[in-house]
Each structure stands twice: as structure tokens, then as C-alpha cells.
Structure 1
């Protein structure tokens, strides 16, 4: 009975090890590596895009704060659609 138990345990462990090694080998194929790299690059691009949007929003908010603090009006003239930022054109 003991020998049968150890034989069964060895067969089960052997099958488990073979399955895990097969998964690891498939994960390291060129196609799998390329797919994971493509996913990582997509996530990186999305993160950079989100960061850029956050920076632009913060810059805009800060510009509004500075203009209000300095008393500079930021208006768009309806005639030509050009922003008037307190500058004069000579």
C-alpha cells in the first residue's frame, strides 16, 4: 500500500511539474514575449498621455491663478479671435 501511495504521489508531482514547465516554455516563446511587450508599451503610452494631460491642466490652472493675481485680463477679441494677454502690438 505504501508503494502505491508513493507511486501515485510521484506521478501527480511529475504531471504538475511538466504542466508548469510547459506553461513557462510557452510564455518565453518569441510571440508571447512580443505580445507582452506590446501590452507594456500600450500601457506606457497611455500613462505618458495621461501625465501630459495632467501637466497641461495644471499649467492652465496655474496660468489662470497668476493672471488673476497680477490683474491681467485674458480675453478673446471677437473681431479676430486673437487672445489679448495684456500685450500691445507696435
Structure 2
């Protein structure tokens, strides 16, 4: 009985080792290396596509946030988008409520032929 057990164990281990070595040898052939390289490149391409999609989604979300903060999606045109300025030379306040008191370059100078 003991001999039969060791014989079966030896045969099983021999078959397992032979199969594992055969697979390793097959991976070392040019066809095996090409298949492994092809699979790796396919995985890399899929990962790059996923990354690019994630970047595009984040970029769109950030752009929407910035456009909303700047009031560019408010529907009507603002002074910032048309480039209009108040008659006194001051810039019209932006949609965020910031008031920029930009003075025109000629506002400080007296008119020529002055009074």
C-alpha cells in the first residue's frame, strides 16, 4: 500500500512539473513572447483610453464650474464677454460681484485747450 501511494504521488508530481516546464518553455519561444507582448500592449492601450476618458470628464466638469463662476453660461451677454466699459472708463462689475476700478489713461489728463 505504501509503495502504491509513493508511486502515485511521484507520477502526479512528475506530470505537474512537466506541464509547468512545458508552459514556461512555450512562453520563451518567439511566438510566446509575441503573444505576451501583444497582450501587454493591449492592456496598456485600454488603460490609456480609460485615463484619457477620465481626464476629459474631469476637464469638462472643471470647465463647467469655471464657466458658471464666471457667468459665461448665464444666457445673456455680460460686459466681460462683450468687452464693453462704462462711459467713465471704469470696467463694469463682473458676475461674481468684483468691482474693478480701471481708469482710462486719459481720465487724469486735462483736455487740451483747457479751461
Q: Which residue of 2 aligns with 1:19?
A: 19
Distance in 2 of aligned mates of 1:60 and 1:32:
42
How far residue 5 of structure 1 moved from its aligned partner, in angstroms, is: 4.7
Following TM superposition, the consecutive aligned residue runs of length 4 or more in structure 1 with deviations greater than 4 angstroms are 1-5
* Structure 2: gaps spanning 5 or more residues: 76-80, 84-115
Pairing 1:54–2:73 present? no
Q: Which residue of 2 aligns with 1:34?
A: 34
Distance in 1 of aligned mates of 2:74 and 2:34:
49
Cα deviation code 1:16-46 (max 9, x no counterpart)? 3222211211122111111111111111111
Q: Which residue of 2 aligns with 1:81?
A: none
SS at match of 2:23: helix
TM-score (norm 2): 0.54
Distance in 2 of aligned mates of 1:71 and 1:51:
30
Structure with bigger strand share is: 1
Distance in 2 of aligned mates of 1:68 and 1:2:
82
* Structure 1: gaps spanning 5 or more residues: 76-85
Structure with bigger helix share is: 1
**Could you say which structure has the larger radius of gyration?**
2
Distance in 2 of aligned mates of 1:16 and 1:28:
19
Distance in 1 of aligned mates of 2:74 and 2:30:
55
SS at match of 1:73: coil
